[in-house]
């Protein structure tokens, strides 16, 4: 199997961090995350650095709860959606900030064959296995292995047969906040039986710092010439289609909202962007996969990854019914996800890169989200 390492890095470069630094008030409090589930304690862990950047993580779903990043004036604001308490994360079934797995995206027909053996997975209402089934990694209480101020390591044992997936899968994720303002997320996993694995972080970003504001006026670049095609039921066909002369062409940076409501069959299926780009970076971590820019705050976030695909979701399903942090109403398209990943239904699509993991192999993966201003 291809060696993969997930490193999620945020770089926030400020020249004015000093005594005049301003933190926009947040309702994130440790006491609101102190709970227990399945006999395990749930906690909120803060990691920080000397530059003023702060990241909050909970071991419920190995979620990123808050990222405080600076704008061009050195003011720190939260740039990811979520909730103020663990009770809301449990009550409102969304993947805000979660580590999704075992397999993000759909496995069609809720089954796959590996080494001649057919495995039947937990099927949702549409007959497919989505995001690894329910409960998935996002619903589990992860073990806190280590924390030391700028690093927290979490682990989870997904037992053989969980939601139908074979093998005892031992997976860990380490979040490290460096002095370069990089949030590094490192995934590692091993198995005792042949299995498939495709985890990803599912943070909803709004780099403006205003979580009630549409992201359609932010500018986006994606280094990809094609996307994975959907049929009318939002199932991947196994075919890649060119972005040329389509609303999916972000090879030249432009506003997300320029073509998001065009009369296009792929957009009609999803009601906006909710597609996986095949990246031209070909696993080269030094080649930019995507870039998003907010003019007012000055924040820029760049995406780098060793993964072959980047799934971009523009929160088309947010409909003002979700009340998030600080009582903010999450309106349609108030955020955007950058899910670095392998393609949906890869176990049933031999033309896609393999997601197989076998005993004796080690799964690793790297992704970098780098903040600038």
| Six-digit token string for 166 | 């074979």
Catalytic residue among 131, 202, 275, 342: 202
- What does the pLDDT read at residue 35? 95
Residue 102's pLDDT band (cuts 50, 70, 90): very high
Going from N- to C-terminal start, the domains of the chain cover 30-372
DSSP structural state of residue 354: P
CB 182 within 8 A of CB 57: no
Catalytic residue among 162, 182, 302, 339: 339
Average pLDDT over residues 57-68: 96
- What does the pLDDT read at residue 36? 94
Mark whether 339 is an active-site residue: yes
Average pLDDT over residues 99-124: 98
**Predicted confidence (pLDDT) per residue in 271-327, tens digit:** 999 999 999 999 998 999 999 999 999 999 999 898 999 999 999 999 999 999 999
- What does the pLDDT read at residue 26? 66
Average pLDDT over residues 193-203: 97
- What does the pLDDT read at residue 12? 34
Q: Is the pLDDT of residue 130 over 60?
A: yes
- What does the pLDDT read at residue 53? 86
Secondary structure class of 21 (helix, strand, coil): coil
Residue 14's pLDDT band (cuts 50, 70, 90): very low
Please state, for a pLDDT cut of 70, what percent of the chain lies above it.
Answer: 93
CB 21 within 8 A of CB 75: yes
Residue 25's pLDDT band (cuts 50, 70, 90): low
* Average pLDDT for the chain: 92
- What does the pLDDT read at residue 182? 83
CA dihedral 201, 203, 208, 211 (to 10 degrees): 180
Taking 3-state DSSP, the helix, strand and coil percentages for the chain, each rounded to the nearest 5, stand at 10, 40, 50
- What does the pLDDT read at residue 367? 85
When computed from its CA atoms, the radius of gyration of the chain, rounded to whole angstroms, is: 19
Residue 11's pLDDT band (cuts 50, 70, 90): very low
- What does the pLDDT read at residue 268? 97
Taken in order 272, 276, 280, 286, is the CA torsion positive or negative?
Answer: positive
- Give per-residue burial for 7-31: e unless 16+ CB within 10 Å, then b: bbbbbbebeebeeeeeeeebebeee
Average pLDDT over residues 10-28: 49
- What does the pLDDT read at residue 5? 36
CB 204 within 8 A of CB 81: yes
According to CATH, what is the number of the domain 30-372?
2.70.98.10
**Predicted confidence (pLDDT) per residue in 131-190, tens digit:** 999 999 999 999 999 999 999 999 999 999 999 999 999 999 999 888 888 888 889 999
């Amino acid at each position: 199997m291809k060696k993969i390492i997930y490193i999620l890095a945020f770089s926030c470069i400020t020249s004015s961090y000093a005594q005049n630094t301003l933190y926009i008030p947040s309702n994130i409090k440790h006491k609101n995350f102190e709970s227990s589930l399945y006999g395990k304690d749930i906690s909120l862990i803060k990691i920080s650095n000397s530059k003023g950047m702060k990241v909050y993580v909970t071991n419920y779903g190995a979620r990123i709860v808050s990222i405080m990043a600076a704008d061009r004036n050195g003011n720190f604001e939260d740039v990811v959606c979520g909730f103020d308490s663990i009770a809301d994360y449990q009550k409102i079934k969304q993947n805000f900030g979660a580590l999704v797995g075992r397999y993000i995206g759909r496995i069609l027909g809720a089954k796959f064959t590996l080494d001649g053996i057919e495995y039947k997975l937990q099927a949702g209402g549409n007959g497919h296995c989505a995001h690894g089934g329910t409960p998935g990694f996002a619903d589990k209480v992860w073990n806190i292995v280590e924390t030391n101020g700028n690093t927290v390591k979490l682990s989870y044992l997904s037992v053989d047969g969980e939601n139908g997936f074979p093998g005892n899968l031992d997976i860990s994720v380490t979040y490290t906040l460096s002095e370069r303002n990089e949030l590094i997320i490192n995934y590692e996993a091993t198995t005792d039986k042949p299995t498939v694995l495709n985890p990803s972080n599912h943070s909803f970003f709004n780099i403006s710092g205003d979580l009630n504001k549409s992201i359609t006026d932010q500018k986006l670049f994606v280094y990809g010439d094609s996307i994975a095609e959907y049929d009318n039921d939002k199932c991947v066909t196994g075919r890649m289609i060119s972005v040329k002369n389509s609303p999916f062409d972000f090879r030249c940076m432009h506003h997300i909202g320029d073509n998001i409501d065009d009369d296009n069959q792929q957009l009609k299926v999803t009601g906006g962007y909710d597609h996986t780009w095949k990246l031209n970076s070909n696993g080269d971590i030094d080649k930019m996969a995507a870039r998003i820019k907010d003019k007012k705050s000055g924040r820029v976030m760049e995406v780098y990854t060793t993964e072959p695909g980047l799934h971009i979701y523009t929160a088309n399903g947010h409909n003002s019914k979700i009340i998030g942090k600080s009582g903010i109403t999450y309106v349609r398209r108030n955020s955007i996800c950058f899910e670095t990943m392998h393609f949906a239904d890869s176990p049933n699509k031999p033309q896609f890169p393999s997601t197989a993991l076998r005993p004796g192999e080690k799964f690793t993966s790297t992704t970098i989200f780098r903040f600038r201003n």
